[in-house]
Chains A and B, each alone.
Chain A
Amino acid sequence: MTGRAIGELDGERLARALAGPGIVLDLGAIVVRIRSHLPELAEPLRRVYRHQPFADDANTFVDADVQLTTSPGLRGLLRPSLRFLADGLDPFGELPRDMPLPQLEWGINWCLATMMNRHLLLHAGALEIQGAGVLLMGEPGAGKSTLTAALALRGARVLSDEFGVLRLSDDALLPVPKPIALKNRSIEVIASWSSDAILGPTYRKTHKGDVAHLAIPSVSVASRHMPATVRTIVFPRWREGAATSLEPLGKAEAFSAVAFNSFNFDTLGPEAFDAVRRLVVRCDCRRLSYGDLNEATRVIRGVCA
């Protein structure tokens, strides 16, 4: 798929394509067709997917055909809301009317989680720094997305935010370079981090707080079919004013942390167990405590050098 990038389309043409046959986005590990008659989706989509090539060819294979639409019938008139449909299935029901981009992004994540069970799906930010793959793992609020965004804006290749897709056959990490979802305070932090940061609109009071999406830099989009080899796993924890430390983490502890942070460890069973074991045995596993983003990115880059 070597089409033009979405950012080169004018908003009106994009809105027309979305309302008609849809646009096909090859996001690396997953290919989706997106359709929507909501005119307000086009502009934010154009902004945060600006480097992403698209196709409007009807004869390509797509993993999921997704649609963002309004609720039908009388109910939709009385209480306007959105629906996310994947191949006609409606996994979420009624969604808030005023946040089309976040709902679309969460919807595509749902597709990844339900359709990609032949890979180990890690809840992780995934990057490549000087040829070495790095996974950032930890519970929500630990600073994964903030660090992923900050490193991406300092030249690291982004493989994914949220989903680290590990292929079981060769332990390769497959890119899914979707926009990075920043939450609450990290929106402002990243906006002022680099003049290259291109952020979509901020959606207030979603179920995850305020959310804004950072466009993936063009190099990461262009290399979305090049897997990476994971060398380092970092478990970050952000605390106000904390000193920066990057301590080694024991393999047993790293194993349970990686297993705990995978979406489908239970589904894959023995294959997941073996894949996580191979991963932690091979990787340098570290616990990162930080309060200052600049220092955190410096030590992560240092450990990869």
Chain B
Amino acid sequence: MSAVGRFHAMPATRALLTLYADPSSALSISPAQWSAILGSARRSRSIGHLALRLAQAGVLHDVPQRVLEHFESAAFVVRRQRQRLRWELFELADALRAYGGPVILLKGAAYEVQSLPLARARLAGDVDLLVPRVDIEEVERRLSSRGWRSAELGDYDERYYREWSHEIPAMMHPDRGLEVDVHHSIGPALPGDSAAVAGLVGASREVSWQVLPGRPIERRLRVLQPIDQLVHLAIHTYGGSDLSLRLREVMDFDLLFRTYCGPVPDGLGEGPVEATGLLDRARELGQARAMWWTLHHARRWLGTPVDSAMLTGSGRPWRAAVAAMDWMSDRSMLPGVRQRRTSAEFAAELALLTRYQWQRLPVRRLVPHVLHKVRRRLLGDEAAAA
């Protein structure tokens, strides 16, 4: 068991991360500490992740009854959401039956159809699809004809999505509650028609799954190959704008890493991914930085079994940059309990959000975009649209 690194965190968060990293410590936790841990897990939406870690370590049923009830309550909510997700995927597969190109499921939907342990931990809020850029209009048209609707957007937002984002506006079927996001790339840094995306699509694989036991086997949907699933998750973990969800995303990464890179549970070998190849594959896709930082955070906060040699080789950021980023990440991404943030926490968050926008849009687009948002905030939607 690799120990978690040194980091700055509120006591409740530290207790959560310590338990996550070493589930066997569950047996010596005081009642008050359990309250703090559950509170912290609830804040970071990671109660299912913690329950999965405890279950995999075989200690879930050794926790106090009152604590177990919280894990069980969360498990019912996840079970229902998984059912909704499978229904949505079944409808999607059906709606795209006549479409000839590849439809690749990303994130939660991919974990679900592969029946990965991670699907038991997380609450999927939407369905992410990757399709070739040239086909995106056809896919959108097929979904529209089967009842999916896009959110009503103003002209500006519509244009922003289509020209500058790597997805089209979210679609939803009015009879069901899940958003469907159709992407033509896996990150803002990758142009949708690039060779990298073609490489991802080319290496993707078909999955066989059933919406319910006894129903026909579905083969219309694909997933990224395992190593690319880790790269894609690292891009999200590193590049998302919602800092408060970052810890949960790092936990997603940790659980996926342990599934793919570790020894398989029955002790009969290793998972399908060689961890030492992760940085190389990420580099091929132009995402080495995202992978390095995600591995770094996962190891530091959660004790993810990442070999330290991987993080000290070539491609390692400057020591001062690592120290600065660690300082900022601890203060803006780990759940806090104070209602009023300290100025250090505020500065850290501002710096990271600025960096996020900087990476997403070139300055000549960023400045008009921010001005538009400010104008709309001040004048209201209609005046700004005029």
Q: Which residues of A contact B (CB under 8 A)?
A: 33, 58-65, 67, 69, 72-73, 83, 85-89, 115-118, 264, 266-269, 271
Contact = CB atoms under 8 A, between A and B. Distances in A.
A269 B66 contact: no
Given A118-B72, A118-B73, A267 B31 contact: no
B336 A88 contact: yes
Given A72-B339, A116-B73, A267-B80, A87 B42 contact: yes
A61 B34 contact: yes
Interface string B35-57: 10011101100000000000000
Contacts of B67: 61
Contacts of B35: 33, 61-63, 65
B228 to A, nearest CB: 34
B318 interface: no
A60 B76 contact: no
Given A58-B32, A264-B76, 20 more contacts: A59-B32, A61-B31, A63-B35, A63-B66, A65-B39, A83-B339, A85-B339, A88-B39, A88-B335, A88-B337, A89-B42, A89-B43, A115-B73, A116-B73, A117-B73, A117-B74, A118-B72, A268-B76, A268-B80, A269-B83
Nearest to A58: B32
Contacts of B336: 88
A43 B43 CA distance: 30
B43 A61 contact: no
B77 interface: yes
B64 to A, nearest CB: 7
Nearest to B47: A115
Contacts of A73: 340
A62 B64 CA distance: 12
A14 to B, nearest CB: 21
A60 B31 CA distance: 6
Nearest to A83: B339
A72 B64 CA distance: 36
A88 B40 CA distance: 8
B342 interface: no
9 contacts: A58-B32, A60-B31, A61-B66, A69-B339, A73-B340, A88-B43, A117-B76, A118-B73, A264-B76
Nearest to A87: B39
A269 B80 contact: yes
A61 B32 contact: yes
A63 B38 CA distance: 8
A115 B74 CA distance: 7
Nearest to B83: A269
B30 interface: yes
Contacts of A72: 339-340
Contacts of A118: 69, 72-73, 76
A63 B30 CA distance: 14
B70 interface: yes
Nearest to A65: B39
A270 to B, nearest CB: 10
B219 to A, nearest CB: 28
Closest 9 CB pairs of A and B: A87-B39, A61-B31, A117-B73, A118-B72, A59-B32, A117-B76, A118-B73, A62-B35, A88-B43
